[in-house]
Chain A
Amino acid sequence: MIIDLPSTSTSQVNAKLVEMRARGGAVALGRVLTLVIATEDDEQLEAAIEAANEASREHPSRVIVVAKGSRSAAPRIDGQIRVGGDAGASEVIVMRLYGALATQGQSAVVPLLLPDAPIVAWWPGSGPKAPSEDPIGELAQRRITDSAAERNPVKALGTRAKAYKEGDTDLAWTRLTHWRAQLVAALDLPPYEAVTGAVVTGEADSPSTELLAGWLAEYLKVPVKRIKSVGAQGIVSVVLERNSGAIELSRPDGRIGTLTQPGQPTRRIELRRRDNKDCLIEELRRLDPDEVYEASLHGLGKIASGATPKAAAAKVSPAAAKAGAAAKAAPKAKPPKETTSS
């Protein structure tokens, strides 16, 4: 059910929510958190709501979408309430803010927050430079940004590292979890030898690749080389060097990973790029500070950059490289389907 409340106020929205609950039964019971989505009023808005609705199957929540509309219009709020089939296991409140109100999102959010429940803020598009100092970010225990959605992802990651406060997290970090899990599991097995060096290869502007390298540098305390590939998307491969031979985890096609270790057969692993829904579910699972993310941001400064390998560059046609870059520039414009690129 979708109810539009044009030119409204937050108290009217609240009254409507109470009325709907009284009439329709326990619509709003058992919510475990409030998710605030701060976004521009554009095509990425629906994709973000859809991801939040999917995530609500695991984390029933009240979703408040603060969409910034035209700054030059007269100040007003257009509200919309979605419940039932249109909202997964959540209830969605969309607030479109126009004119001077557009920059005052927090004033529209505060009256609608669930009592006592934790608050999570998510910027699916371009996020604030210092999330914890943003008016909406200040309200939240957990602040989710997405460096990959920024105009310059790697630079954005650097900014995040400088502004880091406990409770910050980034979807570029969440996308790494499967990679990290496989690498950790590989080191759990014999031969138990120290890693002497590491090489991380990936797309030039892939923040996940940077973070992976940072994580390795911070935890292994060995030189980590970052090689920028051309054409291939996202993370391409990780090599951990040891005296007995290297562990290599590579994913040239963006789907299937191959794990090679000396003295053991090559193993193939499903290592598909994760969609936003998956990442959001993982993010909402824990609301405490992520120390490992903080450590990896710290590790960013320790990465040595390597040259772009000529062989890899030569193999890829310019057209493919361009397509990859284009997909990179606007990754959020697409619905979060499983075949997302970058």
Chain B
Amino acid sequence: MKAKIRKIAVFLEETRTEMGRAVDPPTRRAAAAAVIENPCAGKYVEDLSELMDIGEELGELLTQKAVAALGIPGNVAESYGKAAAVGENGELEHAAAVLHPKLGTPVRRVLGKGAALIPSSKKRGACGVSLDIPLGHKDAAFVRSHFDGMEVRINDAPRANEILVAIAVTDSGRPLPRVGGLSKSQIKGEDGLR
């Protein structure tokens, strides 16, 4: 493995009531995060292909961890998202290199499908910085009940020469969705949008 991983954290959230009203079945979302060494930290490196390869490895590893935490087959997953926080000796572009060129393919392989864009965010920050992973339905980006986000943080990461990379997967949308729009029963699933 090219990625030098210092630690992995898995988060599993289950929402059972919202404003006193039962959410049944509970909505569930999982995030898996890896803290890796940033091989490009501390200097300007033109070619970021090493980080792209690391993204491919983490796409598979973290999606598997998230799906395992949910205890579901990959193809039952409903929404997904990805994000990265680069330590202070790195560039925002290092997060882009991990997240965008190669990470998506193994995510979609583990989940069976994934016609929609994987929503993402990125930032630089110090240890304990919070990362908001945007979430959208994996087959149709416009499904309004699945627009969401999951915050993750690890108190001791990213150190200056590290990157925190996270993937979130859910088996449901928001609890008690009621703002209309496209619903999952209406998905055509051809163009990734509707």
Binding partners A and B: no
Contact residues of A with B, CB < 8 Å? Answer: none
